[in-house]
Amino acid sequence: MKKRLVLGLMSCVPLFGLSQQFTGFTYDNYSGVHGVLQNPANVAGSKYKVNINFFSLSALAGNNAYEYKNSKFKSFDFSDPEENVDYFKSDNADKKSLWFNTDIMGPSFMFTSGKKSGVALYTRARTLLNVSNLSDKTFRFLGKGDADALYGTDINEEGLQLKSHAFAEAGLTYGRIIYSTPQHLLKMGITGKYVVGMAAASVYSKKLRVNLEKNDFINKLEGDLNVRYSDNLDGVDDDYEDILDKATGNHGLGLDLGFSYEWRPENGTWLDRDQTPYKVRVNASINDLGSVKYKNSAHGNSYTIDASGKTTDDLDKKDGETFDEYFSRLETVGILKTATRAADMKVKLPTTFRFDVDYHIYKRLFINAGTIVNMVGKDKNEVSAHYATSFTITPRLEKKWFSLYSPIYYNAVNKDFSWGAGLRAGFLFLGSGSILSNMFGNQNISQADVHLGFTLPIYQRVKTKRHKKEKPVEEVTKTEVAPQPIVETKTIVETKVDTVVKSVEVIKEVNRDKDNDGVVDEKDACPDVPGELALAGCPDKDKDGIADKDDKCIDVAGVAKYNGCPIPDTDGDGINDEEDKCPQTAGTAKYNGCPIPDTDGDGVNDEEDKCPSTPGKPANNGCPEIKQDVVKKVAIAAKSIYYMSGKDVIQKVSYPKLDVVVKVLKADPALHISIEGHTDNKGNAVSNLKLSAKRADAVKNYLIKKGISADRIAAQGFGDSKPVAPNTTPAGRTKNRRVELHLNYQ
């Protein structure tokens, strides 16, 4: 039996959530690029030369509404949980709050850019969800509640909220040591973020009054309902699979600003081998300053709600029904009435103030106390999801390649403690802020979290002083060098004049060059004519590298293949036969010497043919004539498009006729359609023009959703500039409020 309430629109959301990311790990001196998320100043003076994150995930969940059976959790059995068997309703608070967030870190890196500075670049995707102020009385009726107690009972809800936000970001961080002495060190860091909003939604009600009958008849459902959600959610059905496909590219900017102070006493006997020099470290930062601006959905309005006299079936979102269709139906039947509307929705990033103190106990032992304070506001901001305020105390053992940490976590919303553990071992880190309390506690589970990641650490080299060993003074012994004897060399040169003269004469005879072209006659193929050294002494008049005696075109440069003549161009189209794919027919260079093709053989070449694959007529630019019965079908469909009064929302009664247009366009892929929106002259001309354009776009969007390519559709609004009848009569104004559909081949 159904027990839905209209305020239970959010009852299908996840029922878990906490606040911190990578709980306990980010305080580690070896947390690398993840520590930059906690405080951008951590990028300066890092333990790493380079630290690369390949992939990491932090998922945190908890609530004060439901508790999961402890024994089922310990065995990691989450299959088909049943209420009152595997999980139970909590009775620990009058107001129920649910919160949830994930943090996925993609490829990211940081490196030490100098003795005093560091840089980081990261990619990241986050989701946050908050549900708050659901009364315990109403909560008892959800799921397997007491039906008899529900029916006929007045339910009053005030300040009910659901807020969710999903976004991705790329951040660039720069940090620097701005003050340094042997005892004190101060660092500052800043991160600039480019944020891409994937989706955002909020539902809140200041006051709701509900009373149901046993047969699910609604005696009373009155109050206000304020809905804000990004317009890419309009076309999303219950599967939520195409949110990213329909994302409209909402953008924003963000900022983190942090400081880190270290106190370094002179006595360093307690320091560890890896030289972590501070005794106390204090971090403070403000994170996620900024916002994302979304285009609000057409249904993202403030409504008055009145479903008295209806049934719970009327309020149910049907299977496969998109949010656009769902809200349109509620407005059409009068359950929702628009009070106010905003065109845009500004969603703040989950701004927090973060503060922690890290105490270096002895050698490799540390303890940290930290807090994350929500700066967005829990109830005052009705559209921006946020992190919960929390506190942690984290003792840890920290070495170069290995760390153990065990955070004790307190959530200020849930007012509950949890105890966790984690480790870092080389390339891997893994942990949870609640694993120990959940595994070894006796109570049922109301919160859970996990974080893990894979990184590449390249550490800074630790420089140590080495003293040069002094060499002993050695005596230098003198070595006498024996004098070398002087050898006298006598050179006798004999010359025979007659022999030399005869040799010169022979050389002259052998090197004779009668034509003086630098090629001796013995090797000159043309000894009587001056020629080219490269051509064995023969001339080359046209300078084509072919000797004139072998060149059949002595005055025109050519190629050896054609005996010194140019490559022929048989068809005279300026493209030589070797490159011409149609050497007997004049063509163009674009088609390698062939004529412009005519694929469909209708006498209109493809460059002028608007329908190159379909035979047509020259008068129609190569396209066939559009059949009159097709034109008539589309014209009838155009007269059957109806909108909600004063809006650009198409009524469902119009869908069958629009589907006829879709069928026509799919039958002939070469067809294009132009959509023209028109209004009467009532009201402001500028407003009429905008409305007519939006209505034309609404038809275009419908056709696109049905599979028609956007490049086949043109949409334009003309307002009241093209009347087809006088605007002086109601009948004339009705005719002027129209949409015209025109088929064409472009």
CB 197 within 8 A of CB 251: yes
- Across the chain, what does the average pLDDT equal? 83
The pLDDT of residue 271: 52
Distance separating alpha carbons of residues 604 and 612, to the nearest angstrom: 8
Last residue of a domain, one of 459, 488, 521: 459
CA angle, residues 257, 258, 259, in degrees to nearest 5: 145
Last residue of a domain, one of 432, 459, 486: 459
Number of H helices, E strands in the chain: 12, 28
Query: What CATH number did the domain enclosing 81 receive?
Result: 2.40.160
Q: How large is the average pLDDT for residues 668-694?
A: 91
* 200: pLDDT strictly greater than 80: yes
At 13, is the pLDDT very low, low, confident or very high (cuts 50, 70, 90)?
very low
Tokens of 568: 């022929």
CA angle, residues 296, 297, 299, in degrees to nearest 5: 125
CB 19 within 8 A of CB 428: no
Helices 655-667, 628-638: axis angle to 10 degrees equals 150
Could you tell me the CA-to-CA distances from 164 to 108, 157, 248, 449, 623 in Å, in that order? 26, 20, 17, 19, 52
Q: How large is the average pLDDT for residues 282-305?
A: 92
* 625: pLDDT strictly greater than 60: yes
Eight-class DSSP state of 232:
G
Distance separating alpha carbons of residues 150 and 455, to the nearest angstrom: 53
CB 20 within 8 A of CB 409: yes
The pLDDT of residue 516: 75
Domain count, the chain: 2
DSSP secondary structure, 106-155, as one string: -SEEEEE-SSSEEEEEEEEEEEEEEEEEEEHHHHTTTTT--HHHHTT--E
> 575 in a domain, yes or no?
no
Highest mean pLDDT among 152-161, 681-690, 691-700: 691-700
The pLDDT of residue 203: 92
Closest by Cα among 557, 518, 559, 553 to 537: 518
Size of the chain, expressed as the number of residues it contains: 746
Last residue of a domain, one of 433, 459, 485: 459
Domain that holds residue 720: 628-744
Least confident of 77-81, 190-194, 452-456, 668-672: 77-81
pLDDT tens-place string over residues 471-487? 444 444 444 444 555 44
More reliable by pLDDT, 735 or 194: 194
The pLDDT of residue 346: 92
The pLDDT of residue 474: 43
> 486 in a domain, yes or no?
no
The pLDDT of residue 334: 85
More reliable by pLDDT, 413 or 500: 413
Residue with tokens 């195409």: 242
pLDDT tens-place string over residues 341-351? 788 889 999 99
At 467, is the pLDDT very low, low, confident or very high (cuts 50, 70, 90)?
very low
Backbone angles phi, psi at 496, to 5 degrees: -120, 105
At 646, is the pLDDT very low, low, confident or very high (cuts 50, 70, 90)?
confident
* 14: pLDDT strictly greater than 80: no
Closest by Cα among 230, 227, 243 to 292: 230
At 502, is the pLDDT very low, low, confident or very high (cuts 50, 70, 90)?
low
Distance separating alpha carbons of residues 326 and 315, to the nearest angstrom: 9
Highest mean pLDDT among 22-36, 87-101, 597-611: 22-36
Residue 2: count of CB within 10 angstroms of its CB: 11
Q: How large is the average pLDDT for residues 466-470?
A: 45
CB 679 within 8 A of CB 737: yes
The pLDDT of residue 480: 44
Tokens of 500: 């030399």
Tokens of 200: 């955002």
Least confident of 140-144, 295-299, 336-340: 140-144
At 10, is the pLDDT very low, low, confident or very high (cuts 50, 70, 90)?
very low
Least confident of 13-27, 62-76, 246-260: 13-27
CB 376 within 8 A of CB 4: no
Neighbouring-strand partners of residue 120: 110, 173
Using only C-alpha atoms, the chain has a radius of gyration, in whole angstroms, of 42
> 219 in a domain, yes or no?
yes
Query: What CATH number did the domain enclosing 716 receive?
Result: 3.30.1330.60
More reliable by pLDDT, 242 or 61: 61
Least confident of 26-40, 411-425, 592-606: 592-606
- Residues of the chain with pLDDT > 70, as a percent, come to 85
> 425 in a domain, yes or no?
yes
Residue 399 is inside which H or E element, if any? none
* pTM for the structure as a whole: 0.60
At 493, is the pLDDT very low, low, confident or very high (cuts 50, 70, 90)?
very low
C-alpha neighbours within 13 Å on the C-beta side of residue 746: 10
The pLDDT of residue 70: 84
CB 99 within 8 A of CB 130: yes
pLDDT tens-place string over residues 701-715? 999 999 999 999 999
Beta-strand ranges (E) seen in 301-398 are 301-306, 336-341, 344-348, 352-362, 365-374, 390-398
Neighbouring-strand partners of residue 214: none
> 334 in a domain, yes or no?
yes
> 480 in a domain, yes or no?
no
Distance separating alpha carbons of residues 506 and 499, to the nearest angstrom: 11
- List Cβ neighbours of 380 (8 Å cut-off, separation of 6 or more): none
More reliable by pLDDT, 228 or 75: 228
Highest mean pLDDT among 14-23, 259-268, 500-509, 680-689: 680-689
> 367 in a domain, yes or no?
yes
pLDDT tens-place string over residues 207-237? 999 888 766 788 888 999 899 989 888 766 6
Backbone angles phi, psi at 405, to 5 degrees: -140, 150
Tokens of 538: 């023969």
Closest by Cα among 100, 88, 141 to 17: 100
Which amino acid appears at position 196 of this protein? V
CA–chain centroid gap for 230, Å, is: 17
The pLDDT of residue 498: 59
Distance separating alpha carbons of residues 542 and 196, to the nearest angstrom: 67
> 673 in a domain, yes or no?
yes
Eight-class DSSP state of 27:
G
Neighbouring-strand partners of residue 163: 130, 202
The pLDDT of residue 464: 47
The pLDDT of residue 275: 73
More reliable by pLDDT, 651 or 505: 651
- List Cβ neighbours of 424 (8 Å cut-off, separation of 6 or more): 25, 28, 30, 31, 402, 403
Least confident of 100-114, 169-183, 332-346: 332-346
Distance separating alpha carbons of residues 583 and 572, to the nearest angstrom: 9
